[in-house]
Chains A and B, each alone.
Chain A
Amino acid sequence: MNINQRIANIFLTSRVRQLLVAVLSVTFGISMYVFMNSFMSGVNEEQTEITFTAMSHIKIYNELPLEVQTIKPPPTDSHTVLMVSNNRNIQYTEGIQNVDPIKEELSQIPNITGVTAQLNQNVFIRNGVSKASASLSGIETTNEDDLFNTSDYLVEGKLSDLDKQSNAIILGTGLAKNIGVRTGNNVTILTSDGLSKSFKVVGLIETGANMADRTRALVSIQAARQLLSENRSYATEVLVNITDYNDAQGTAEIIKQLTDYKVEPWQEGNEQLDSSNVLRDIIAIAVSLTILIVAGFGIYNIMNMTVNEKIKEIAILKAMGFNGKDVVEIFLTQSVIIGLMGGLTGLMLGATIVKIIDNVPFKMGPLTTLPVTYDSSDYLMAFAFGILITFIAGYLPARKASKLDPVDILRG
């Protein structure tokens, strides 16, 4: 410990209560930062997780071309006029005719964790006189389960039952209730082309999202192809999950090189979700930074008081040959010590609050306790901001102290 640090130390410890107040203000600021950010990212993560139970990170499908294609190229010489009346945008192919090569190529990309094909079609479901519209999904049961943990949401039956019988169907609980069927009953499916086929209910699914539960019907993808008279490699969309859903846009760019179909990362189709995540993050950072800045003002105030109180001592030190840099060092050391002490206790308090929040019961939807995350970067950021703010709050009074003219003070 050099002489300046020793002086700083003695100045600090001579006023224990003031030191405590300063440390506590940093502690409070940093723990709130940790708490706010852990809680907000917990909420975000939970929200996203719920969303991804029914949605993949990247979706590949056949989209109607945006531009109407001209039948003939425009005339090159000025004597000819080309007139096309009632030009239409016609989709020549529907769905993805051959998904196997696409799936093959996708499996080469390293950060892709799962790929599944779906055949989705709006149909009518009928049980006697009750009728309801439903969105029928033909799914590859194993892949689907890998991506969405679908079997976790089955309240009755097993997902693999769909593969055992070609006429097996799983209905959303709301849908089953609407048309009054239970597991074991038969329903009739009517397609938009007028075909009808009888299916047997082998299970019920409930995700917690009411809209989905009232319309969802699952069959195996083969059964769906059969129902809609499509070829054995047909699908309407290919769904892709990757290791980190935040990278979806980047990975989508890579996939676009491989296929002409529309590749859509989840952010594109769900801007409301993405924006609410970002907004919550902004609120969390704004609130916690405000608290840290308020703590900074507290330190500034206390350091200012200390400088005023020690004004005579500063003059004496200067008279003895301590220069401006020494004085800055003495007072900056004090605020950095306050910052470090407050920072460490703040991290501990923050972690404790997060732990408590994690155990607060909150029974709504799929939640049982309040959602939080344990992310070391939150703690690092809190600490870094805390130190930065105490540094600035300490530097300003320190600089003022260093500029004091000892003669004015000693002469009295």
Chain B
Amino acid sequence: MTALSVNQINKHFYDPVDFHVLKDISFDIKQGEFVAIIGKSGSGKSTLLYLLSTMDTDYDGIISINDTQVTGLSQNKLASFRNEHIGFVFQFHFLLPEFSVLDNIMLPALKLKKKSKEEIEDKAMELLALLDIKGLERKKASKISGGQQQRVAIARALINSPAIIMGDEPTGNLDSKNTNIVFDTFRQLAKEQGQTIIAVTHDDEFADKCDRIIELSDGMLV
């Protein structure tokens, strides 16, 4: 089954001068695949990820996720689509610092409103256990270590059981021990829950362990 399909994507940046970032990119990703997008800095890999994430809508071509064509949907529709189907992990964790760890994890689910608050809380506690950060739930997000914050961010990405998890250098600022924890978690999710994982990385070791590598060079697939 195809989780994500990209058809003839072209993307330009117009400021300060016209720059053709992505050129005729097409590929499919199967459900449960663990994909790494690699490439040199400036090759357009992050840009591609933001297109796939539906946050950037300024491109030519067609992107479909889970057989839904997301190209052309309104911003509000895309927002609720992201909420339900896509989980995000950023390089710099990007938690809400004033919220507790538990609140941070629960936010996307509270927005989705498919489950009761108690169910969401149970699920969040489960994820905390899964990611081995149990006991931190009442702490403020700004008061825990970087490795812990990154795992909280992963838990947050998983709370709605999204079909696709996207990471923009999810291990970019983690030490090797934490990198391994994060990688193993992703691996496990792809295997056991059939979730598709797409991660932009420049960590070759990380990429080598993935199911598939998509390499970009000067905006083209290699």
B25 within 8 A of A: no
Of the 9-residue stretches A18-26, A54-62, A238-246, A323-331, which lies at the interface with chain B?
A: A323-331
Partner pick for A324 among B76, B112, B156, CB 8 A cutoff: B76
Contact call B53/A10, Cβ cutoff below 8 A: no
B64 within 8 A of A: no
Contact call A323/B107, Cβ cutoff below 8 A: no
A109 within 8 A of B: no
A14-B98, A320-B156, A410-B94 are contacts. A325–B110 as well, Cβ < 8 Å?
Answer: no
Closest approach, in angstroms, between the C-beta of B47 and any C-beta of chain A? 8
- Expressed in whole angstroms, the Cα–Cα distance for A325 and B79 within the complex equals 11
Query: Which residues of B are found within 8 Å of A325, using beta-carbon distances?
Result: 76
Query: Which residues of B are found within 8 Å of A315, using beta-carbon distances?
Result: 94
Contact call A10/B79, Cβ cutoff below 8 A: no
Closest approach, in angstroms, between the C-beta of B108 and any C-beta of chain A? 5
B83 within 8 A of A: yes
Closest approach, in angstroms, between the C-beta of A406 and any C-beta of chain B? 5
Contact call A319/B75, Cβ cutoff below 8 A: no
A313-B96, A316-B96, A411-B50 are contacts. A321–B56 as well, Cβ < 8 Å?
Answer: no
- Expressed in whole angstroms, the Cα–Cα distance for A10 and B103 within the complex equals 11
Interface string of A1-26 (1 = CB under 8 A from B): 00100110011001000000000000
Contact call B55/A407, Cβ cutoff below 8 A: yes
Query: Which residues of A are found within 8 Å of B110, using beta-carbon distances?
Result: 3, 6
Contact call B75/A324, Cβ cutoff below 8 A: yes
Query: Which residues of B are found within 8 Å of A3, using beta-carbon distances?
Result: 107, 110-111
Restricting to B22-44, which residues have a CB under 8 Å from any CB of A? none
Restricting to B104-119, which residues have a CB under 8 Å from any CB of A? 107-108, 110-112
Query: Which residues of A are found within 8 Å of B186, using beta-carbon distances?
Result: none
Contact call B94/A318, Cβ cutoff below 8 A: no
What is the interface residue range for chain B against chain A? 20 to 34
Residue of A nearest to B46 (CB): A411
Residue of A nearest to B112 (CB): A321
- Expressed in whole angstroms, the Cα–Cα distance for A325 and B53 within the complex equals 20
Query: Which residues of A are found within 8 Å of B68, using beta-carbon distances?
Result: none
Closest approach, in angstroms, between the C-beta of A35 and any C-beta of chain B? 37
A322 within 8 A of B: yes
Query: Which residues of A are found within 8 Å of B168, using beta-carbon distances?
Result: 410
A400 within 8 A of B: no
Contact call B50/A407, Cβ cutoff below 8 A: yes
Most chain A CB within a 10 A radius of its CB, from B53, B55, B83, B110: B55
Closest approach, in angstroms, between the C-beta of A283 and any C-beta of chain B? 45
Closest approach, in angstroms, between the C-beta of A320 and any C-beta of chain B? 5
Contact call A321/B79, Cβ cutoff below 8 A: yes
Residue of A nearest to B107 (CB): A320
Partner pick for B82 among A6, A10, A320, CB 8 A cutoff: A320
Contact call A318/B55, Cβ cutoff below 8 A: yes
Most chain A CB within a 10 A radius of its CB, from B81, B95, B108, B168: B108
Query: Which residues of A are found within 8 Å of B99, using beta-carbon distances?
Result: 10
B80 within 8 A of A: yes
Query: Which residues of A are found within 8 Å of B80, using beta-carbon distances?
Result: 321, 323
A10-B98, A313-B96 are contacts. A322–B50 as well, Cβ < 8 Å?
Answer: no
Closest approach, in angstroms, between the C-beta of B184 and any C-beta of chain A? 24
Most chain B CB within a 10 A radius of its CB, from A10, A11, A316, A318: A316
Query: Which residues of B are found within 8 Å of A11, using beta-carbon distances?
Result: 98
- Expressed in whole angstroms, the Cα–Cα distance for A332 and B112 within the complex equals 21
- Expressed in whole angstroms, the Cα–Cα distance for A312 and B142 within the complex equals 14
Closest approach, in angstroms, between the C-beta of A43 and any C-beta of chain B? 49
Closest approach, in angstroms, between the C-beta of A92 and any C-beta of chain B? 83
Closest approach, in angstroms, between the C-beta of B71 and any C-beta of chain A? 16
Partner pick for A406 among B46, B55, B108, B112, CB 8 A cutoff: B55
Closest approach, in angstroms, between the C-beta of B179 and any C-beta of chain A? 21
Contact call A326/B98, Cβ cutoff below 8 A: no
Contact call A321/B50, Cβ cutoff below 8 A: no
Query: Which residues of A are found within 8 Å of B82, using beta-carbon distances?
Result: 319-321
Contact call B111/A407, Cβ cutoff below 8 A: no
Residue of A nearest to B162 (CB): A321
Partner pick for A322 among B56, B79, B84, B95, CB 8 A cutoff: B79
- Expressed in whole angstroms, the Cα–Cα distance for A407 and B90 within the complex equals 12
Binding site for A on B (CB under 8 A): 46, 50, 53, 55-56, 75-76, 79-84, 88, 90, 94-96, 98-99, 103, 107-108, 110-112, 156, 168
Listed by A's residue number, 10 A-B pairs whose Cβ atoms lie within 8 Å are A3-B107, A3-B110, A10-B99, A14-B98, A313-B96, A320-B82, A322-B111, A325-B76, A326-B79, A411-B50
Closest 8 CB pairs of A and B: A321-B83, A323-B79, A3-B110, A14-B98, A321-B82, A323-B76, A320-B108, A407-B56
